[in-house]
Structure 1
Amino acid sequence: MPAIETKLAEVIETSSTGFTAQCYDLNAPPPLGSLVKTSIDGTMIYAAVGHVSTTSLEPGRRPVARGKDEASEEAVFAANPQLEKLLRCEVEAVIVGHQSDDEIRHYLPPRPARLHGFVYACDDVEVRAFSQKTGFITLLLSAQGNVSPEEMTSAVLRWIAASYEGKERRKYLLTAGKALAQLLSADYSRLKTILERLSA
């Protein structure tokens, strides 16, 4: 029986290098650095979560505090069910590769993600398959957006490492560290910043 995929969000803005998706569950966005996927015309696009934000649906209108008389955060939403329709949680994801003809390629796909395409979480098996080579790190280091490339790269590598067990986890981090050392040989400060966050 095939695994049941977890549908997290829907693409609402798209470009050649990434996409923004609106989460279906306001309080359950994918974690920073996690790997997600969406598809277009038979091509699976892989992306890393680089930024998550929850804002009002109405431009210029900010949420107001509602929990003074409530015992828990959950009680705030229970007492104000309209919040689910007044707020939105968005994820900005950076494309780190794609799969075409059963081969994973660590460079940008020929076409951007589909508008209103569904976004799914990648399970550990998919994460390990994607990370067998380290070419995607180049895309992370050059990412632009609301999170620094250093923070995002370290978050993604920590997330990938967590999909491995025991000695394989340490082996993966060593492999990633060597790849980083080669890519950032002329920028010790950036390399040090990322490696410190990997070992923390």
Structure 2
Amino acid sequence: MPELIYSKLAEVIETSSTGFTAQCYDLNAAPALGSLVKTSLDGMTVYAVVAYVSTTSLEPGRKPVARGKDIETEEAIFQANPQLEKLLRCEVAAIIVGHQLDGEVKHYLPPRPARLHGFVHACDDAEVRAFSQKTGFISLLLAAQTDVSAEEMTAAVIRRMSASYEGDGRRQFLVTAGKALAQLLSADYNRLKSILERLAA
């Protein structure tokens, strides 16, 4: 998998202690479900995972309409209707899974929410590997309340993180994550099975 490009993707428009919503600058370039992203806060890095992505109209109650009947490609729709970029918005809901302070990654919620209008960046493969050396973030994923089920999101995060590793490192990460899941969900076999099936697919 190509390394994630370290770039400014979006801007925080809603924030809370457990997560934030960010509006993407590019309508068709939202980070993938399960991606690790980050934003800065008073010298601290706040890490979050993409839990849900939506593209909607800027005007409440007004839905986009089909425009491509007589147009050859999807890209040409936007070329023929440049106003669409200003009428639509792409939003990312992210769940906070840890933070970094004084160079140390901590897999629990930061003391303050992400900053409103803070810039959201993609994490590159090296940063994903550094963050996922320990699996404390998994308990935050399992407890998350999002439009995507916690099982689906947790599996997506682990799959995305595993892709940042190569060779035996990838297998070792998946084994470690699987053991953490088994321990956290020891009393809920069906939930554990659901996540592991999504990892094996």
TM value normalised by structure 1: 0.98
Work out the CA distance in 2 between the residues paired with 1:82 and 1:6. Answer: 25
Work out the CA distance in 2 between the residues paired with 1:175 and 1:86. Answer: 45
Amino acid at match of 1:97: G
**1:11-43 C-alpha deviation (Å, 9 max, x unpaired):** 000000000000000001000000000011001
The residue aligned with 1:119 is 120
Work out the CA distance in 2 between the residues paired with 1:91 and 1:19. Answer: 8
Work out the CA distance in 2 between the residues paired with 1:105 and 1:166. Answer: 26
**1:161-172 to 2 correspondences below 5 Å:** 161-172=162-173
Partner of 2:89, secondary structure, is strand
Structure 1: unaligned runs, 5 residues or longer: none
Amino acid at match of 2:24: C
TM value normalised by structure 2: 0.97
The residue aligned with 1:97 is 98
The residue aligned with 2:78 is 77
**1:133-144 to 2 correspondences below 5 Å:** 133-144=134-145
Amino acid at match of 2:48: A
The structural deviation recorded for 1:132 is 0.3
**1:1-200 to 2 correspondences below 5 Å:** 5-200=6-201
CA RMSD of aligned residues (A): 0.7
Of all paired residues, the percent bearing the same amino acid is: 78
**1:96-151 C-alpha deviation (Å, 9 max, x unpaired):** 00001110000000000000000000000000000000000000000001111000
Work out the CA distance in 1 between the residues paired with 2:102 and 2:110. Answer: 13
Work out the CA distance in 1 between the residues paired with 2:72 and 2:169. Answer: 44
Work out the CA distance in 2 between the residues paired with 1:33 and 1:86. Answer: 27
The structural deviation recorded for 1:5 is 3.2
Amino acid at match of 2:131: F
